[in-house]
């Protein structure tokens, strides 16, 4: 189930992508977002989807230049000593979206009636 404010997106689960990603610089990757399309090697849970939907929003905000902005943010993060992924401002925003979704789901669980 998508978060209530989800943008339009397509989720494509392609299991063989796991091996392809493992051959690259991303051995622990789960998904990659290109425009409104999310490619993953397995189905995503709600929190993982919220992370990727933030990337969809970023693509929608910046268009094709987002790819260059993302790479520049990775380089800046790496030069700061934060690693190319962990300190990338776009990844920071995506992790924040995932945290908000985790909190939203926990709140829904807390108010669900006991059967």
In this predicted model, what pLDDT tens digit does every residue of 43-86 receive, in sequence order?
Answer: 999 999 999 999 999 999 999 999 999 999 999 999 999 999 99
What pLDDT, on the 0 to 100 scale, is given for residue 28?
Answer: 78
Sign of the alpha-carbon dihedral angle for 8, 13, 16, 20: positive
Q: What does the domain layout of the chain look like in residue ranges?
A: 10-111
Structure tokens at 12: 């494509």
Helix H, strand E, coil C: the string for 30-65 is CEEEECCEEEECCCCCHHHHHHHHHHHHHHHHHCCC
Structure tokens at 95: 């992790």
In this predicted model, what pLDDT tens digit does every residue of 2-36 receive, in sequence order?
Answer: 777 789 999 999 998 888 777 776 777 899 999 99
What pLDDT, on the 0 to 100 scale, is given for residue 1?
Answer: 66
What pLDDT, on the 0 to 100 scale, is given for residue 6?
Answer: 87
Whether the Cβ atoms of residue 89 and residue 62 lie closer than 8 Å to each other: no
What pLDDT, on the 0 to 100 scale, is given for residue 113?
Answer: 78
């Amino acid at each position: 189930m998508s978060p209530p404010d989800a943008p339009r997106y397509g989720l494509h689960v392609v299991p063989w992508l796991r091996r392809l990603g493992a051959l690259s610089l991303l051995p622990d990757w789960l998904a990659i977002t290109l425009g409104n399309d999310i490619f993953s090697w397995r189905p995503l849970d709600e929190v993982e989807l919220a992370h990727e939907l933030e990337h969809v929003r970023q693509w929608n905000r910046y268009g094709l230049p987002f790819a260059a902005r993302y790479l520049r943010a990775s380089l800046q993060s790496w030069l700061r000593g934060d690693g190319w992924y962990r300190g990338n401002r776009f990844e920071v925003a995506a992790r924040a979206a995932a945290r908000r979704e985790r909190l939203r789901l926990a709140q829904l669980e807390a108010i669900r009636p006991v059967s």
